[in-house]
Amino acid sequence: TPSNTKVVALVVATPSRPGDDAPAEGTDVGLARPVVADLRVVRDVAENITNLRVVGDAAAMNWVHSADGRQYPWIGPRYAWGTGTLKVDGRAVSWTRTGCVAEELNLDVVSQLGSDGTLYERRTFRNVSDREIALADIDIHTPFNDNFPKSPVDMFDRRAFAHVWAGGSAAWVSAMRMGGQSPHLGLAVVEGRISAYELKERSRAKGGSNTRGIIALSLPDVILKPGEETTVAWRVFAHEGWDDFFAKLVALGGVDVKAERYVLRTGEKTTVTARTAAGTRTREWTCPGAGEHRVEIVTPDGRTAFVEILGVDDPAAILKTRARYIVSRQQVDAPGTPFDGAFVPYDTETGRQERSWETTLTSDHSEGRERLGMGVFLAKMAQRGMRDELMPSLLRYYRFVRTSLEDPDHTVWQAVKRSSSTRAFNYPWHVWFYLEMYKLMGERTYLADAYQTLKRLFRGDIKLPKALVAFPIGDCLRAFRAAGMPDAERDLIAWGRRFLGPVSAPGGYVAGTEVGLAPEVVSATIHALTEFGSLTGESSYLDAARRWVPRANAVCGRQPSWHCHDIGLHHWDGYWFGKRACWGDTLPHDWNGEMAQAFRRYAEATGEKEFAARAEKIADAMLGLFTPDGRGSCACVYPDRVNGEKAKFFDPLCNDQDWALVFYLDQNPDLSF
């Protein structure tokens, strides 16, 4: 250890115990539960943590990246747990051995396993020079094992969604095993502050969408006089789920702060509660107007905590203005061309449409695919009172979809030029558009289009993923029954049984999707199983939906913020769909609206009312992706920094975000215009 590093206490490892040896990768260990809640820590020769396990966990999951280049070649010792980077007077420095920082800065470290089964760590940065120094971007690497491996067994049993709350003195992390089964892992800040977080090592060449990167927890910037210091300490612990996490968070010295609601209308009130080991304190707060509000509360032991609340004026006005914005700015006016009537992305900075046929844009910015959400949204709005205003636009769009994006046999393409292959994910979105046009117009042609598109999807020559996002299987069955189309109903039930069979089986995994265990994969599975079971009367599908709910609880965070509370963790679409092409957590993301839809239908089918309440709150958060003048953002990049660059912004491109409003309307069936 360098001479300027003082390691006060350092535990190399706890003794081995029965059951600690890891099963081979790909071994399915099922839903085993822990025997005890102690942690086992292993360090490398540089005394950095390379393995952190919960004793008794049958999967023997390592909750951190091994940082030896084996899991990912770009994650080596410089990203081991407890290493980090910072700037001293603007000069970038790093430490790879515990505490090695800079000539003018010492790092004292306490890292020890306690008798209570937790890992206690305390880091103190001290100015050892004879002059004042400024510290900035103080990142401590906490490389939680948050990524999607190829093996579905490893993904469900040996990977975690790490939900980060950089809430100052009330900061915490809850790493939830992706399969939903306990034990899980938590981190509670008990001294000092974590004011930000960064994601590092994100790129197409470094795992692309299937890894979240290195998570770094950041101390506030500070100026230290000679001899002064800044400290942060936390406890790492095993827990059984969200309720147990918050109970242990408080018992171990952390802060549990929350609000009754995180999205409020102007003038509405909410209660903010802060709970510590010293007691509970509440504050009533009234929303003063639209926009994001940081609401602070002083805890019983004198710390300051906060929540993030979104204020909105009139949701109906937001949706109506957004509908007009799409028609006036995002619909292509090119008579005599196959592109006429298309809905395309729109750059709110330049005021120009993105037209993929005129540029080298990828299919994520094409005139097909996710852009179908604009058509579905407008058709729903027309049903709610805007029929006369929106009908000309919708008829032009129907003609475009049916003749320019589809072949006569209903083969669906990603773009008019047909330069890329068909994609199974696109078919349900065409079906949904046709279904809404049928509801609007009452003409069986549209329902026939929906049926023929489904028939083309399930014909057998298109590779099907294990989940289809925004697949309106229940609405289709209802429509076919009501319209007297027994052949279509019979076929869809047969297709549904074949498609949902693998995920409805006990222990059913999802593999072969574009991005690992994305939250929309979880919500789509719960929604389809619930609807199919309810409409066919086959209880096995509803039983399967119940087994999938813990996976939804794992992917949905519980941070005290409208960005994150019950919002599924999404960390790649800012790159693929945004103008800035920035990786990082997109919170909220429009597909989170499907979780609201899934929870609402699940509540209706099971009578479990708490899911209806959760659905309403998730849907409300979707409004935050839109401004009162009708602009939308395809991605809110929530981390403070990504790959060293400032983040925390709404991307200026209107692209796929209108699916959020589709689900909002589903959640609010009585809303009219």
**pLDDT averaged over every residue in the chain:** 93
For residue 429, how many other CB atoms are within 10 A of its CB?
27
Question: What's the confidence (pLDDT) of residue 98?
Answer: 67
pLDDT digits over 434-470, tens only? 999 999 999 999 999 999 999 999 999 999 988 999 9
How far is it, in rounded angstroms, from Cα 592 to Cα 103? 47
| From 150-159, 477-486, 573-582, 653-662, the region with the lowest mean pLDDT | 150-159
> What's the whole-number mean pLDDT along residues 63-75?
93
- Find the DSSP H helices in 458-591: 473-482, 486-504, 519-536, 539-555, 573-577
The single-letter DSSP state of residue 654 is E
Structural tokens at position 4: 């300027």
pLDDT digits over 176-210, tens only? 999 999 999 999 999 999 999 999 999 999 999 99
Structural tokens at position 142: 């906490």
For residue 410, how many other CB atoms are within 10 A of its CB?
22
Question: What's the confidence (pLDDT) of residue 466?
Answer: 87
pLDDT at 495 over 60: yes
Question: What's the confidence (pLDDT) of residue 326?
Answer: 98
pLDDT digits over 593-635, tens only? 999 999 999 999 999 999 999 999 999 999 999 999 999 999 9
DSSP 289-312: SSEEEEEEEE-TTS-EEEEEEEEE
- In 3-state terms, the chain is what percent helix, strand and coil (to 5)? 35, 25, 40
Question: What's the confidence (pLDDT) of residue 417?
Answer: 93
Residues with Cβ within 8 Å of residue 607, at least 6 apart in sequence = none
pLDDT at 419 over 90: no
Q: Read off the amino acid at residue 381.
A: M
Question: What's the confidence (pLDDT) of residue 512?
Answer: 52
Q: Indicate the pLDDT class of residue 16, thresholds 50, 70 and 90.
A: very low
How far is it, in rounded angstroms, from Cα 631 to Cα 654? 7
How far is it, in rounded angstroms, from Cα 306 to Cα 293? 10
| Model pTM score | 0.94
For residue 445, how many other CB atoms are within 10 A of its CB?
12
pLDDT at 4 over 60: no
pLDDT at 30 over 80: no
Give the 3-state DSSP-derived string for 360-404, with helices as H, strands as E and coil as C.
Answer: CCCHHHCCCHHHHHHHHHHHHHHHHHHHHHHHHHHHHHHHHHHHH
Q: Look at the alpha carbons of 373, 379, 382, 383 in this order and tell me if their dihedral is positive or negative.
A: negative
The single-letter DSSP state of residue 331 is B
Q: Indicate the pLDDT class of residue 23, thresholds 50, 70 and 90.
A: low
Residue 558: half-sphere exposure toward Cβ, Cα within 13 Å: 20
How far is it, in rounded angstroms, from Cα 107 to Cα 578? 39
How far is it, in rounded angstroms, from Cα 363 to Cα 413? 10
Nearest to 61 by CA among 121, 149, 145, 117: 145
Q: Are 21 and 54 in contact (CB under 8 A)?
A: no
Q: Indicate the pLDDT class of residue 415, thresholds 50, 70 and 90.
A: very high
Q: Residue 185: beta bridge partners?
A: 175, 238
pLDDT digits over 239-265, tens only? 999 999 999 999 999 999 999 999 999
pLDDT digits over 82-134, tens only? 999 999 999 999 998 766 699 999 999 999 999 899 999 999 999 999 999 99
Angle at 202 between CA 197 and CA 207, to 5 degrees: 130
pLDDT at 2 over 90: no
How far is it, in rounded angstroms, from Cα 457 to Cα 424? 7
Residues with Cβ within 8 Å of residue 373, at least 6 apart in sequence = 429, 590, 656, 657, 658, 659, 662
Q: Indicate the pLDDT class of residue 28, thresholds 50, 70 and 90.
A: very low
| From 39-53, 142-156, 255-269, 393-407, the region with the lowest mean pLDDT | 39-53
> What's the whole-number mean pLDDT along residues 366-372?
97
pLDDT digits over 561-578, tens only? 999 999 999 999 999 999
pLDDT at 287 over 80: yes
Instruction: Give kind and range of the element (H or E) at residue 660.
Output: helix 659-667
Q: Indicate the pLDDT class of residue 273, thresholds 50, 70 and 90.
A: very high
Question: What's the confidence (pLDDT) of residue 9?
Answer: 39
